[in-house]
Amino acid sequence: MNNGGFIMKRSIVLGIVVTLSLGAVIAQDRSKIIEVEKLEDNLFVLRGEGGGGNTAVFVTTDGVVVVDTKNPGWGQPILTQINELTSNPITTLINTHSHGDHVSGNVAFPRTVDFVAHEVTKANMDAMRPYTGRTEPPVNVFEDTNGHGLPTRTFTDRMSIGNGSDQIDLYYFGRAHTGGDAWVVFPSLRTLHAGDAFLGKRVPFLDAENGGSGVAIADTLQKAHDTIRNIDTIITGHSTQATWADLNEWAAFNREFLEMVRAGRLAGRTVDEIANSWTMPTKYAGYDSPNPAGVKRNIQVIVDELEG
């Protein structure tokens, strides 16, 4: 109840601010309404219809750390919203991975901000290649900014930012959704932002063109689950929050899918045959109903890795 009232109030306030200050551009930006979910007094999840991935806002003692910035055009609405939540300056922006629906709002953030990502994600953002299964390249917002908004600080396996209750721990456990998925932990709040390495309870998107792996993803997820400690809440890439047990189950789901494909190939079956005969196992009944094209694409990704 409290959260509902909170979201409503914020939306109305944002609407008034946009109307008063932006005049002619409101027709374009009125649709970009940020919805705020308060997880803790100093941790918020920002969503928005058509905005893309979930954004986390962590208010520290002296600053603000933001995780992911949504689709093109969503950077300013995010900044406006943060300004309503706190007067602390934004110090750090972390991208969980390189996809355009998680990084494009970066360009609206000031140059004083540290732009942090895994080293493979920086390389992916430098290139902005098409995703697996798509022919056209994603919109590369960084071409118009001379590279402003690209990562300025990278990590390989692990990195911590800040200390005490402000500390953030970044981990990398290997290939999954892409080749550079960062696991962003807020230890004092027992909360983690998993990005699209855990996009929700559904069939994953394996972007092999950007380093994703259907063979490695289960191991990567299991390693994350077994290594990181003391987490109650997972902010997913595109869904509602998940639990630590959900991550364990999601790792098992991905392992069973891999073994299903492996067994199918050993039995001499084609990608189409494997895809056409697969249905969501009943024990994952709570998962989103799968998109057949996405299932087939994932099987092809796995077969290419196993036999390529």
Q: 87 to 116, contacts with Zn ion by CB under 5 A?
A: 99
When asked if residue 166 is in the footprint of Zn ion (CB under 5 A), the reply is: no
Residue count, binding to Zn ion (CB under 5 A): 2
Q: 209 to 238, contacts with Zn ion by CB under 5 A?
A: none
When asked if residue 175 is in the footprint of Zn ion (CB under 5 A), the reply is: no
Q: Which is nearer to Zn ion, 13 or 293 (CB)?
A: 293
Residue 200 — left, alpha, or beta (φ > 0 → left; ψ -120 to 50 → alpha)? left
Q: Tell me which residue of 234, 231, 237 sits closest to 188, measured CA to CA.
A: 231
Give the range of 193-201, 224-232, 251-259, 284-292 binding Zn ion by CB under 5 A: 193-201
Q: Tell me which residue of 222, 181, 219 sits closest to 199, measured CA to CA.
A: 181
Beta bridge partners of 44: 38, 57
Report in angstroms how near the CB of residue 52 gets to Zn ion at its nearest. Answer: 9
Q: Which is nearer to Zn ion, 35 or 196 (CB)?
A: 196
- Total Cβ atoms within 10 A of residue 20: 9
Q: Which is nearer to Zn ion, 92 or 96 (CB)?
A: 96
Report in angstroms how near the CB of residue 207 gets to Zn ion at its nearest. Answer: 7
> What is the helix, strand, coil percentage profile of the chain, to 5?
45, 20, 40
Under a CB-based contact definition with an 8 Å cutoff, are residues 117 and 125 in contact? yes
Exactly one of 166, 196, 219, 249 binds Zn ion (CB under 5 A); that residue is 196
Binding site for Zn ion (CB under 5 A): 99, 196
